[in-house]
A and B are shown apart, each in its own frame.
Chain A
Amino acid sequence: MKDQGEVKKQIRRIKNLPTLPGIVQKISRMVENPKTSSADVARLIAQDQVLSAKVLRMANSPFFGMSRKISSITQALVILGFNVVKGLVLTSSVFDMMKQSMVGLWEHSIGCAAAAGAVARHLDRPDTEEVLVAGLLHDLGKVVLSLQVPEETTRILDLAKEKEISFYEAEREILDFTHSDVGLWLSEHWNLPLALSDPMRHHHQPDRAKGAPEQTAIVHLADIVIRARGFGFSGDPFVPPLSQTAWEILKLQTQDFDLILADLDSKLLNMADYL
């Protein structure tokens, strides 16, 4: 059995992961440069035609509910913004592999994104697309765990099943960190904005999210709603506890669940085409 330090070192070696795209870092660097235009970023993404097609497919999916078709990466950048497109580049690259070996987690991520979108729309937020992408990416730490330390991940899954505890609790017993910590390392590595990194890092403890507390609260609730709905599988079958802080931040009433669930179901109905 590997010691904790070795496991952590292995996880931190994410830059060697072939499936995780260097293009995300390139985009980060470009965005930091004030002279960079949308066209420059679009040209970079367009160099990879398969990636561009995947990003456009996601951008035009029923998730975003755009009234007109987004036909180019430049248009996606203007309409959806840098953060959303960057999140979609990441999603498109990583999730291909999930569809083959982690179907349940892929479905959970898609479902959580749809639920986050439903909550954000209900709250009439202007950043619905970004919150939705935060939902898509929230469990990316689990993907990396599963790829980098598959033996430990199997032990975590087995322990969660055997003791009827959550994947999160089992992670803490077997590793001395969780997929949320891995999410933090990933977002630092890719220089993701707080609106995406805080939900990845704190969706289990939203009271700790200081940079993007509202977005994190939405993803926290979306994770609960999609698990309650029984869509996908993220390591255990249980509905996680609701953070009182998150509930207070969102200022929702329990009566709102009817409308949120109706919106969510209408999106899940069209999901099969994007699985």
Chain B
Amino acid sequence: MILAQKIVRDDGVLLCQKGAPLTEALLRLLGRLNFETVPIEVSSAESPEEQAARLAGEEARLEARFVRVQSDPVLTELKKALLKRLHEPEP
């Protein structure tokens, strides 16, 4: 069994990537963090609308993290690389 969606805590901290195997250790960790359910189905896990909303939220959080270094050309390229991975995650 693998995770159908990445798991993010309420404060935005990424706990586990989409596609991670649902191991005993992961279940124990999520239990400790009071997660009662996790999405495990890969197919049709996310509708196009849900995906668009999720990506918009992730992009907004990414932009917010870079707000203080907007004039740095190297870090702008880092942001672009992260945006690219957001939209074209590797299998």
Determine the distance from Cα of A239 to Cα of B82 in the docked complex, in whole angstroms. 13
Q: Any chain B CB within 8 A of the CB of A237?
A: yes
Q: Name the residue on B nearest A254 (C-beta).
A: B77
Q: Are A228 and B65 in contact (CB under 8 A)?
A: yes
Q: Which of A104, A254, A268, A271 is in CB contact (< 8 Å) with B74?
A: A254
Point out the residues of chain B lying under 8 angstroms from A238, CB to CB: 65, 67-69
Q: Any chain A CB within 8 A of the CB of B81?
A: yes
Q: Which of A107, A239, A268 is in CB contact (< 8 Å) with B13?
A: A107
Q: Are B29 and A241 in contact (CB under 8 A)?
A: no
Interface residues on B, range: 20 to 34
Determine the distance from Cα of A187 to Cα of B25 in the docked complex, in whole angstroms. 33
Q: Which of B13, B25, B72, B77 is in CB contact (< 8 Å) with A241?
A: B72
Bitwise, B2-43 to A at CB < 8 A (1) or not (0) is 000000000111111101100101100100010000000000
Nearest CB on B from A151, distance (A): 22
Q: Are B29 and A233 in contact (CB under 8 A)?
A: no
Q: Any chain A CB within 8 A of the CB of B62?
A: yes
Point out the residues of chain B lying under 8 angstroms from A228, CB to CB: 62, 65-66, 75, 78-79, 82
Could you tell me the dominant secondary structure of chain A's interface residues?
helix
Known pairs A104-B13, A269-B20, A273-B25; A257 contacts B69 (CB<8 A): no
Q: Any chain A CB within 8 A of the CB of B90?
A: yes
Point out the residues of chain B lying under 8 angstroms from A265, CB to CB: 17, 85, 90
Q: Which of A230, A247, A258 is in CB contact (< 8 Å) with B65?
A: A230
Q: Are A257 and B81 in contact (CB under 8 A)?
A: yes
Determine the distance from Cα of A269 to Cα of B62 in the docked complex, in whole angstroms. 19
Residues on A lying within 8 angstroms of B by beta carbon are 103-104, 107, 166, 224-225, 227-233, 237-242, 247, 254, 257-258, 261-262, 265, 268-273, 275
What 11 additional pairs, Cβ within 8 angstroms, besides A232-B13, A242-B72? Answer: A224-B78, A230-B65, A233-B13, A238-B65, A239-B65, A241-B72, A254-B74, A257-B78, A261-B82, A269-B17, A272-B20
